[in-house]
Amino acid sequence: MKVIRSRFLGARCVKAQDPNIQFFQIRSILNWHRDALVDRVLSDLPTYIEYKFGRASNRQELIHIGEGLLELKQHDVDIDFYEPIIKVLKRKDEITLDNGCFFLELDEKIRTRLSRQLHFAA
């Protein structure tokens, strides 16, 4: 049994022994954690963008970026971003999720949306 601790979800157990089912359960927990983080970022998106990217966004940009973040919630996590977590879980039975990998995915989505806005404005 593996235990994944999350600041947003508390402790979640992965009880399956089959590696494929374990992967599905782990991915579900990562999805839930990322979805909770997306909700937090969306709750004050202008401040997050200004802090993280050093620029203010207008209303139209915020809507466009917010839509992109909501799209993330409709899809499973991109395992490429979460490979470090998967590797640790292969070695350990218990981990606490660090938001670093999650922010990489969120920031990449925001950066993509911001760069599109900059290209359209030019």
Overall pTM surpassing 0.75 (yes/no):
yes
**pLDDT over 50 (residue 122):** no
Q: Cα separation of 55 and 47, whole Å?
A: 9
Predicted pLDDT of residue 78: 86
Q: Cα separation of 2 and 92, whole Å?
A: 8
- Using a pLDDT cut of 90, give the percent of the chain over it: 81
Q: Cα separation of 12 and 116, whole Å?
A: 38
- Domain definitions of the chain by residue range: 2-121
Predicted pLDDT of residue 117: 58
Q: Cα separation of 22 and 107, whole Å?
A: 27
**pLDDT over 50 (residue 14):** yes
- Render pLDDT for 19-77 as a digit per residue (tens, 0 to 9): 889 999 999 999 999 999 999 999 999 999 999 999 898 999 999 999 999 999 999 99
Q: Which residue pairs from 79-87 have beta carbons closer than 8 angstroms and sit at least 24 positions apart in sequence? A: 79/27, 81/105, 81/108, 82/30, 85/30, 86/26
Q: Cα separation of 114 and 79, whole Å?
A: 23
